[in-house]
Structure 1
């Protein structure tokens, strides 16, 4: 299969510095497309599959899994037949699993629209944007908890790499702007995480309407309770317990954390606050995208 976007290695010196911090990455990093989205070398092997994935009208969103460290995990688990079977099922190409899955498919991704199928908006896409400062804190803990990332540094160091587009899936604002520019497409729903925290039932109704679904007041209440962070974080399917069982996450780390808005204030010093203000101002200058909680 052909892939129309350029995939180029990250500059050697930068790649070396990143690999010293992201200790779980063994192959190095690449930049993809004209905007230079940062991904791992493993993306080369699945880029065409993702881009050429058939989109069905009943789909909701799209996803990727980077099957890194599988060989190392197989060696670690070689005497545990049950876990080896679990790993085999878990590490199969997610793109192929998605392609073979029956409709309707619910698919999740961290990739920007431009790296997905050009026909992705033939199906429903829900895009959730978050305050970049809270997003950075969330990504920091994700990269610390997952062995295939294994970030070994403090948050201030992580923040430096994040705002300089040297982090998985960055540039952050280009990612957001791609979706924001398509917000009027009838098949794309653009949501803000902060709105979900402020009035979950209102946003759930918005999603229901977007998907052409109708639910009673009681059903909405049950769904909102299910999605409340106090219950959500103990949902094994969401918290990726299988990754802990297979050794892909550090045992003391949690995939779902506090889920609150504004938590970034506990991590930023005055210098970082000033950096964030300038970074956000510079990147929002050429767009009418605004975070509602900042207006």
Structure 2
């Protein structure tokens, strides 16, 4: 139905039964965006010729995509900021799933830097045979949910949510671009041994950006001097990127992003997963401090006011406990496919699991 000639201005046939919701087009159990992606072209990605020098960054939407784009271009430029001030992130590290991306990919000299939100099954077969390198960046799904909700409010190619309850329901059911967060990370992580694969998290990058950049350099075989490394780190900070219109997407036309309704880079700090190390999480002071910190946060205070009922209030309560407990409890609330999806917690990665286990130990003593 969607063809390679479709553009962002083409109308959506809302009567087509294959249109899942607003501008989403289901293809092979994955939601593409009408006018942005072509199912035929996405299917051709598996046949792309891959070079050993190709680098693919993979993220679920709102999981640090422009951050990893920024870091990769700076690493490749050995800290030279010129490319980062002259071209958009999306031009320096384009998405492989966009319409017309194959021709651009074939004509780009090495090293080719690319990014994708696609699931593992769509990747080039050569990548799944250890050609090229893949860096997967994961982010706490609680933060992804809130960030993705705000993004939907000003992204022209996506449906504006009726309210947070409505978006929460769709996020849980995977009725968004990228589908279910848990399924996305599971398919990639479960197949990590088939690729030259590096897994990192948004939370690790916030905690110690330099260490993560050094880790990426080792994985990519890049040897940077101390001065070059310092430049990469400095120009990959939230503060610096927020001031760079090529990195913060302020240069993107209003026809794609309504800058009056929001900003691409809203805040630096992830709520991160709670850790019980060195604290008595059962104490009333600790619980009350955690509650107050959530209420002070500008995004969550508007999303979860005290009087709100329904699933948003449920999520607010779930946010007070670690991710693993959340995954275990959700099947009791959501039935069918949603429940089945959230039982895949065993594939969630060690960083998230370890943080959750620490909290479970404390919760068991409450």
- Band of TM-score, shorter chain: 0.7 to 0.9
Residue 111 (structure 1) aligned with residue 118 (structure 2): yes
Structure 1 partner of 2:102: 95
CA distance in 2, matches of 1:174, 1:207: 25
CA contact (8 A) 1:179 1:190 kept: no
CA distance in 2, matches of 1:169, 1:12: 21
CA distance in 1, matches of 2:169, 2:318: 9
Structure 2 partner of 1:5: none
CA distance in 1, matches of 2:101, 2:251: 15
What's the TM-score, normalizing by structure 2?
0.60
Matches within 5 A, 1:1-295: 15=19, 18-19=21-22, 25=23, 28-32=24-28, 36-41=29-34, 42-61=37-56, 93-120=100-127, 121-184=130-193, 187-244=196-253, 247-252=255-260, 253-262=262-271, 265=294, 266=300, 267-268=303-304, 270-274=313-317, 280-281=327-328, 282-287=342-347, 289-290=349-350, 291=352, 292-295=354-357
Q: Which moved more, 1:258-267 or 1:221-230?
A: 258-267
CA distance in 2, matches of 1:185, 1:45: 25
Q: C-alpha deviations, 1:166-186, integer Å up to 9, x for none?
A: 111112112101221234556
Q: C-alpha deviations, 1:202-247, integer Å up to 9, x for none?
A: 1111001000112233332221111110111222222234422x62
Bigger Rg, structure 1 or 2: 2
Paired residues, what number? Answer: 250
Quote how far apart the aligned CAs of 1:119 are. Answer: 1.6
Q: C-alpha deviations, 1:55-102, integer Å up to 9, x for none?
A: 111110068xxxxxxxxxxxxxxxxxxxxxxxxx99971232122111
Structure 2 partner of 1:77: none
Kindly tell me: are residues 209 and 196 of structure 1, through their superposed partners in 2, closer, same or farther at Cα, counting changes over 3 Å? same
Quote how far apart the aligned CAs of 1:29 are. Answer: 1.9
CA distance in 2, matches of 1:293, 1:221: 30
Kindly tell me: are residues 147 and 58 of structure 1, through their superposed partners in 2, closer, same or farther at Cα, counting changes over 3 Å? same
Any stretches of 5+ residues in structure 2 without a counterpart?
1-14, 59-90, 274-293, 295-299, 305-311, 329-341, 358-366
Kindly tell me: are residues 146 and 270 of structure 1, through their superposed partners in 2, closer, same or farther at Cα, counting changes over 3 Å? closer
DSSP 3-state at the match of 2:213: helix
Kindly tell me: are residues 272 and 92 of structure 1, through their superposed partners in 2, closer, same or farther at Cα, counting changes over 3 Å? closer
Any stretches of 5+ residues in structure 1 without a counterpart?
1-10, 20-24, 64-88
Q: Which moved more, 1:168-177 or 1:203-212?
A: 168-177
Cα RMSD of the aligned pairs, angstroms, is 3.2
DSSP 3-state at the match of 2:38: helix
